[in-house]
Amino acid sequence: MHKSWWLFLFVMAMLSLHSVTLAQTEPLEVVASFSILADVVAQVAGEHATVTAVMPIGVDPHSFEPTPRALTALSSADVVFTNGIHFEENLVPILSNTTTAPLVEVSRCVFVREFGLDDHHEDEAEAPEHEHEAETHDHETAHDESCETLHAELATLATWFTPAEDAMMAYGCEGEEADHQDSDGGHAHAGCDPHVWQNPYNVMVWTITVRDTLTELDPAHADAYASNAQAYLNELNALVTDFILPTLAPLPVEHRLLVTNHETMGYFAETFEFRMIATVLEGNTTGADSSLQDLAGLVDQLTQAGVVALFAETSAGEGVIQQLAQEINVPVATLYTDSLSESEGVAPTYLAFMRYNIRTIVEALNHTTP
């Protein structure tokens, strides 16, 4: 009887220890602000986290409303990843009221561009020399040593990318987003461009940031996060070297002209030698309207530039851009910009998203009007 009692205690102790181990190895509850970021986080986390996106697939980030499921996920999250650079303006108040989890901006170490960068450079060329020097100094003082370490890690892998220091802002985006009323009374944005994922190098920056964050939260699975991140970095690098660059190579630089709903393709254009001719909607928001006078001006501008295709976006309306296309007799192709597709669609992952957009752009720009 005595031996049986001790055997019972031993078994119970082992069961108790097993239950503690299970509790410690439960997957992290991770939330990402939108679908593209959620996919990247999931690639790094693997089986060690459940990842939920706050913004639903296909939503316009300027006007989305969080679902009850997203709010529930936020309330129990271990960490929340956001793009930053003011992309989640509508989400910030919700985060502050819904979660106490750490908030991590994955674009903190990205070289951030400015909206309307081409116009900015034209103005900059005419600016007094001392003004340019002051701006450069501001950029230098914002550098972060941890970001330098991150970019040094990527330097030997992503040899195809060299940041254009004269065309980029400092890491991240300091201060509040500038805004103003456009000529038609709509709300337009200026300042930092948040659409960093259009350059795969920036998603590589995200990948390292996610890896390091998950490792800090869950050091027991550090090796898995490191392995997953390295595999994904290799895939992102191959996306550029084995697909994007060879696919774009036959397309002459002078034919690389982009006209989109709003300014979402700036990082892509700068990296792969495209020129952003115009945005159909005034400013950089999907909520503004183009007047008939603006439309007439665009018709002349695009005709003179020799534009052969326009590009709509899955998360924005196509009415104005379709009207403009009819006026200049060119086709409209649709790109994914702020969201992935549903799982059964053509762009359910970031890698598929980029491949689809590249193919669509090349096919559309190879079109010639009759």
Long-range contacts of 263-266 (CB under 8 A, 24+ apart): 263/115, 263/116, 263/193, 263/195, 264/195, 264/198, 264/313, 264/337, 264/338, 265/195, 265/198, 265/311, 265/335, 265/337, 266/113, 266/115, 266/117, 266/193, 266/195, 266/198
In Å, what is the CA distance from 40 to each residue of 81, 208, 233?
A: 11, 10, 10
DSSP for 295-358, written as a single string: HHHHHHHHHHHT---EEEETTS--HHHHHHHHHHT--EEEE--S----TTSS-SSHHHHHHHHH
In this structure, is residue 284 part of a structural domain?
yes
Going by the DSSP 8-state scheme, the letter that residue 171 receives in this structure is: B
From residue 117, give the alpha-carbon distance in Å to each of 102, 269, 281.
33, 11, 17
Amino acid making up residue 336: Y
Q: Report the percentage of the chain scoring pLDDT > 70.
A: 75
- In the predicted model, what is the mean pLDDT of the chain? 80
- The reply to whether 15 falls in a domain is no
For residue 112, being part of any structural domain is answered with no
- Report whether pLDDT(290) > 80: no
On the 0-12 / 13-18 / 19+ scale of CB atoms within 10 A, 169 is buried
The number of folded domains in the chain is 1
pLDDT confidence tier of residue 166, bands split at 50, 70 and 90:
low
The helix/strand/coil state of 162 is coil
Q: Which of 277, 239, 180, 191 is nearest to 358 (CA)?
A: 239
Statement: residue 124 has pLDDT above 60: no
Considering the domain boundaries, does residue 274 fall inside one? Answer: yes
pLDDT of residue 213: 98
Lowest mean pLDDT among 37-41, 60-64, 355-359: 60-64
Identify the pLDDT of residue 172: 77
Q: How far, rounded to the nearest angstrom, does the alpha carbon of residue 121 sit from its chain's CA centroid?
A: 24
Range of the domain at 337: 250-365
Tell me, what's the pLDDT at 174?
Answer: 65
52 within a domain of the structure (yes/no):
no
**Residue 61: per-residue pLDDT:** 80
List the single range of 235-239, 281-285, 301-305 with lowest mean pLDDT.
281-285
pLDDT band for position 190 (cuts 50, 70, 90): low
> What pLDDT does residue 167 have?
54
User: For residue 219, what pLDDT is reported?
Assistant: 97
Cα gap 83→350, rounded to integer Å:
15
Q: Looking at per-residue confidence, does 116 or 69 come out higher?
A: 69
Least confident of 108-117, 179-188, 190-199, 202-211: 179-188
Q: Is the CB of residue 171 less than 8 Å from the CB of residue 85?
A: no
- Give yes or no for residue 285 having a pLDDT over 70: no
Task: Look at residue 15 in the predicted model and tell me its pLDDT.
Answer: 44
Window from 69-73, 94-98, 115-119, 264-268 with minimum mean pLDDT: 115-119
The CATH number of whichever domain residue 342 belongs to comes to 3.40.50.1980
Neighbours of 329 (CB within 10 A): 10
Confidence class for position 139, pLDDT limits 50, 70, 90: very low
DSSP label at residue 114: B
pLDDT at 4 over 90: no
Contact indicator for 105, 79 with CB cutoff of 8 Å: no
Query: Does some domain include residue 107?
Result: no
With bands split at pLDDT 50, 70 and 90, how would you rate the model's confidence at 133?
very low
For residue 301, is it within any domain? yes
339 assigned to some structural domain = yes
Each residue's pLDDT tens digit, 46-93? 999 999 999 989 887 877 788 888 888 899 999 999 999 999 988 888
Predicted confidence (pLDDT) at residue 156 exceeds the cutoff of 50 = yes
296 and 319 in contact (C-beta within 8 Å)? no
